[in-house]
């Protein structure tokens, strides 16, 4: 494979391929830290911009470019997490992490509907909506220490350089985060059981069958909707199976022609609601046993771009322009 030359240097850069190969790892890390693919991509863009802002001599002096990129991306994420607390105080309604489709369902503006594998987030239990919601409850330092060490297996000595604490302090942060996960999450039901419940839920919703919906929901179930003030959505969590069922049926009554599809959402069985071929809601479910305990319904159109034709292509064009500008 021929490696392109860097502008202004006039000779091949033998490390360019290695540097760009880190992109997928960085996107995966930043998404788990921020709960937003859009913000994760922006973080990766900024990370590469800082790399290309250095001279060739400065780049070659870095012993491990991958570790350097991770450190920079981690610090940018940490700063964003600290500022996010302030920004989300003014967010209209509830804030829910940005939902991700399965890689095979990812909608792209590119010809053929394909997407660069480097842009995909690896789907596993660490990006389930239930997991991401617990991460949102952690302090920024806890979240970064936990994700870097427990999910990506970085040693605490390297985590400490990113968080700005001692390795011992980072160990304590990760331990505290681990307790939060353990205390708030029940084991998920088998995948087949989840799929069956979500399928039954879709059919009951389409039939506007309140009784059937109530039977599928835990009596203490909670539904959280995220409209971001851009579209109609409940501003507070809806508590109780019957209240959720009545709310969903009322929504269906107000949206004639609504199509509800079964899709993978953050690696788990979920539902996508479309009107006129446009995705208007993506719902993720928490199914710890024989009933649905929690539903997260994302309606904010700014969080649905991976599910929307053309939107991901526009973001890709913006990313490439930014990348080219960063390289000079």
pLDDT digits (tens, 9 = 90+) for 81-117: 999 877 888 899 999 999 999 865 544 433 334 444 4
The answer on 157 and 81 residing in a single domain is: yes
User: Looking at the domain assignment, is residue 157 inside a domain?
Assistant: yes
User: Looking at the domain assignment, is residue 171 inside a domain?
Assistant: yes
User: Looking at the domain assignment, is residue 154 inside a domain?
Assistant: yes
288-320 pLDDT per residue, tens: 989 999 999 999 999 999 998 755 444 555 444
User: What is the distance between the alpha carbons of residues 4 and 320, in angstroms, rounded to a whole number?
Assistant: 16
- CATH at 20: 1.20.140.160
The answer on 47 and 164 residing in a single domain is: yes
Q: How far, in Å, are 223, 258, 260, 265, 306 from residue 276 at the CA level?
A: 25, 8, 12, 21, 17
Among 185, 205, 225, identify where a domain stops.
185
User: Model-level pTM?
Assistant: 0.84
Q: Tokens 């389930």, residue?
A: 128
The answer on 176 and 33 residing in a single domain is: yes
Give the pLDDT score at 48. Answer: 95
User: Looking at the domain assignment, is residue 265 inside a domain?
Assistant: yes
35-67 pLDDT per residue, tens: 999 999 999 999 999 999 999 999 999 999 999
Asked whether 217 and 239 are in contact (CB, 8 A), the reply is no
User: What is the distance between the alpha carbons of residues 168 and 156, in angstroms, rounded to a whole number?
Assistant: 8
User: Looking at the domain assignment, is residue 226 inside a domain?
Assistant: yes
Give the pLDDT score at 109. Answer: 36
Q: Tokens 């771009």, residue?
A: 305
Q: Tokens 């930014």, residue?
A: 322
What's the total number of domains in the chain?
2
The answer on 173 and 27 residing in a single domain is: yes
- Say whether 211 sits in a helix, a strand or coil: helix
User: Looking at the domain assignment, is residue 326 inside a domain?
Assistant: no
User: Looking at the domain assignment, is residue 327 inside a domain?
Assistant: no
């Amino acid at each position: 494979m021929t490696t392109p030359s860097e502008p202004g240097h006039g000779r091949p850069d033998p490390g360019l391929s290695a540097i760009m190969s880190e992109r997928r790892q960085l996107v995966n890390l930043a998404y788990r830290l921020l709960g937003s693919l859009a913000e994760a991509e922006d973080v990766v863009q900024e990370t590469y911009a800082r790399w290309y802002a250095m001279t060739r001599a400065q780049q070659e002096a870095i012993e491990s470019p991958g570790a350097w990129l991770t450190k920079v991306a981690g610090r940018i994420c940490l700063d964003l997490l600290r500022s996010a607390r302030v920004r989300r105080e003014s967010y209209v309604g509830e804030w829910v992490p940005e939902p991700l489709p399965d890689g095979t369902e990812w909608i792209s503006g590119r010809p053929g509907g394909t997407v660069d594998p480097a842009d995909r987030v690896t789907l596993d239990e660490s990006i389930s909506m239930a997991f991401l919601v617990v991460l949102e409850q952690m302090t920024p330092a806890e979240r970064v220490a936990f994700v870097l060490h427990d999910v990506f297996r970085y040693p605490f000595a390297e985590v400490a350089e990113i968080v700005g604490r001692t390795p011992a302090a980072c160990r304590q942060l990760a331990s505290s985060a681990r307790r939060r996960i353990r205390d708030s999450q029940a084991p998920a039901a088998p995948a087949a059981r989840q799929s069956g419940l979500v399928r039954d839920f879709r059919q009951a919703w389409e039939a506007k069958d309140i009784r059937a919906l109530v039977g599928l929901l835990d009596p203490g179930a909670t539904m959280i909707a995220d409209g971001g003030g851009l579209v109609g959505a409940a501003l507070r969590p809806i508590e109780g199976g019957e209240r959720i069922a009545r709310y969903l049926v009322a929504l269906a009554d107000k949206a004639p022609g609504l199509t509800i599809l079964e899709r993978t959402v953050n690696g788990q069985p979920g539902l996508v609601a479309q009107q006129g071929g446009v995705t208007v809601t993506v719902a993720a479910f928490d199914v710890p046993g024989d009933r649905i305990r929690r539903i997260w319904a994302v309606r904010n159109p700014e969080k649905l771009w991976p599910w929307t034709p053309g939107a991901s292509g526009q973001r890709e064009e913006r990313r490439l322009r930014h990348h080219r500008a960063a390289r000079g």
